[in-house]
Amino acid sequence: MGEKVKVIPIAKSYENEIKEYVKSVQERGLKTPKLVGILATSDPAASSYAEWTGKAFLSDGLRYSLIRCTDPLHVESHLQALDADPDVSGIIVYYPCFGTQPSYSGVSMDDYLRDSVSPRKDVEGLCWSYRTALYKNVRYLEGDANRKCILPCTALSVVKILESLEVSSVSKPPGRRMEGKTVTIVNRSEIVGRPLAAMLANDGATVFSVDIDTIYEFANGRLEKCDLEAKECVGKSDVVVLGVPVKSYKMDTGWIKPNTVVVNVASFKNYEEDKILSVDGVRVVGMVGKVTVKMLERNLCRLHKQYSVEGGMGGRESNIKDKVEEIRTWAVVAAGMATVAAIAAVVAARRK
C-alpha cells in the first residue's frame, strides 16, 4: 500500500528559518523584508493566492501590501515605481494579467511583464536573468558568490520536498544530489515544468519532460527529443510530477512502478487517489502550496539580505560601510594631493 505525504511539517521547518531571519533583522535595528503584490486580474485562483500569500507573510513577521490594479496596462508603471522604492524588498505579480495577448516585443504581454521585474526584487525567479542562469546551470548572478540566483517557487518547493523524502541527497554536493534518479514531469510551462526539469537535471537526474504532443529528455545539461511514449517514461521513473491544468486528466495508475514518489502540482488531482495508493510503496504528495509559499518567503528574505542589508539599498550597516569606504577613498585622494603638492614645492625650490 502507498501513503500520503503531509507537507505541513516540511513547510514548518522553513517557517522557523524565516522567523529566525526576521528576528535577527529586528535585533539589528533594520526594517524587515517587504513584499508588494500586484493583482490585475479577476481570476479567482490569482485572488485566492494573493490573499493566502498576504496572511502567511504577515503571520511570519514579514511586511506585505497589495496593489489592486484595475487596468493591466498600468502594471508596468507600478513595477517601475516599486523597483525604485528602497523600502520594497520583493515584487510579485499575480498572473494572468493579459493571458496570451502578444506584446510588441514578440512574446506574450505576461512574459514581457515577467522580464520587467528587476532581478533585485524578483521573488518568483521568473525574469530573464534568472531563467537564463537556471537553464545554463549558473548558480550565482554575474559570478558574484554573494548573489545566489532566485529559483521559481513551485519548482523549488518540489525540490525541497524531494530532499525531505531523501530522494534528493543533501549529503552530496550540488550537481550530484539526484544522480541515478529518473524523473517524469507532465508539464512544460515556464512557471513550473520547465524550470523544475532544469533544476533536477542540473542536480544529476535524468528528466523526461512530457507535454501534450512532445517528450524531451533533460540529461547532463542537454535537451534532446525523446522517442519514448509517456507510459514508458513513467515506468522508468523514481519520481513523477503531475501538473496538467485540466480537471478531467487522470494518469493511468498502471504506468507507475512500486516505490515511486508522485507529486501533484496541478490545481486538480491528476490521479485517482484510491488507485494510486494501491501501488506498493508509492508516496503521494497531493499539494505543494504550503511549501511553495514558504519558498516565496525564503526568496524574499534572500533578496532582502543580498540587496537591502548587504547590498547598500537601505540597510543601516551597508550605509555605514559605504561611508567608511567613502572616507577612506577621500583620505587616499587627499594624501595623493598632499604628495603632489610636496613634490611641486621641492621642484620649485630647486629651480630657485
Q: Residue 210 belongs to a domain with what CATH number?
A: 3.40.50.720
Active-site residue (options: 97, 127, 153, 226): 153
**Total of domains in the chain:** 1
Determine, yes or no, domain membership for 321.
Answer: no
The amino acid at 149 = C
Where would I find the H helices in the chain?
Answer: 8-27, 44-59, 75-84, 109-116, 128-135, 153-164, 193-202, 230-236, 273-276, 289-303, 316-351
Contacts for 18 with CB less than 8 Å, ≥ 6 apart: 60, 61, 62, 294, 297, 298, 301
pLDDT score of 352: 52
Residue 43 has pLDDT above 90, yes or no: no
Residue 349 has pLDDT above 80, yes or no: no
pLDDT score of 350: 54
CB 138 within 8 A of CB 119: no
Calculate the average pLDDT of the chain.
Answer: 89
- As a dihedral over the C-alpha atoms of residue 10, residue 16, residue 22, residue 25, rounded to 10 degrees, the angle is -120
Determine, yes or no, domain membership for 20.
Answer: yes
Prediction pTM value: 0.85
C-alpha cell at 324: 567608511
Q: Does residue 149 carry a catalytic annotation?
A: no
Q: What is the pLDDT of residues 271-328, one digit of tens each?
A: 999 999 999 999 999 999 999 999 999 999 999 999 988 765 444 443 444 343 434 4
How far is the C-alpha of 146 from the C-alpha of 136, rounded, in Å?
19
Determine, yes or no, domain membership for 89.
Answer: yes
Q: What is the pLDDT of residues 236-284, one digit of tens each?
A: 999 999 999 999 999 999 999 999 999 999 999 999 999 999 999 999 9
C-alpha cell at 154: 513551485
Determine, yes or no, domain membership for 222.
Answer: yes
How far is the C-alpha of 159 from the C-alpha of 201, rounded, in Å?
11
Q: With pLDDT > 70 as the criterion, what percentage of the chain qualifies?
A: 87
CA 12 to chain centre: 18
**Residue range(s) defining the domain that contains residue 210:** 3-309
Longest distance between any two alpha carbons in the chain, whole Å: 104
Determine, yes or no, domain membership for 327.
Answer: no
